[in-house]
Amino acid sequence: NAGVTQTPKFQVLKTGQSMTLQCAQDMNHNSMYWYRQDPGMGLRLIYYSASEGTTDKGEVPNGYNVSRLNKREFSLRLESAAPSQTSVYFCASSDRGQETQYFGPGTRLLVL
């Protein structure tokens, strides 16, 4: 039982490049989330998916897109990376109607 997994662990991009962050969970959870963590700012929600086939914007969605590929997988895409998107990205999941979230180990992204 791996819980929530994320790939890659670390990535360096140049401004304007694109990339997709992958997330998968094996807990049969309905809801999945993408957060970014910046120093002194805690976690901020980028997008979430309450169930397979649905996605909604969070607090800071600009510059990102998401895909809920199936119940297990939720990807985050940066179409044209900017230095302001340098951050640590966390994926999380939770069961329907449950507040407790389970987090992946994070992806550290550096945009030059």
Partner 1 sequence: AQSVTQPDIHITVSEGASLELRCNYSYGATPYLFWYVQSPGQGLQLLLKYFSGDTLVQGIKGFEAEFKRSQSSFNLRKPSVHWSDAAEYFCAVGPASSASKIIFGSGTRLSIRP
Residue 3 or 83 having the CB closest to partner 1: 3
Shortest distance, position 6 Cβ to partner 1, whole Å: 8
Residue 54 Cα to chain centre, angstroms? 15
Peptide bond into 8 cis (omega under 30): yes
User: What is the nearest approach in angstroms of partner 1 to the Cβ of residue 24?
Assistant: 14
Q: How far is the CB of 20 from partner 1 (least distance, A)?
A: 19
Tokens of 7: 């790939």
Q: CA 104, CA 13: separation in Å to the nearest integer? A: 21
Nearer to partner 1, 15 or 54 (CB): 54
Asked whether the beta carbons of 47 and 91 are under 8 A apart, the reply is: no
Distance CA 25, CA 38 (A): 24
- Nearer of residues 58 and 63 to partner 1, judged by Cβ: 58
- Given the rule CB under 8 A, which residues bind partner 1? 4, 31, 33, 40-45, 48, 50, 56, 58, 90, 92, 94, 97-106
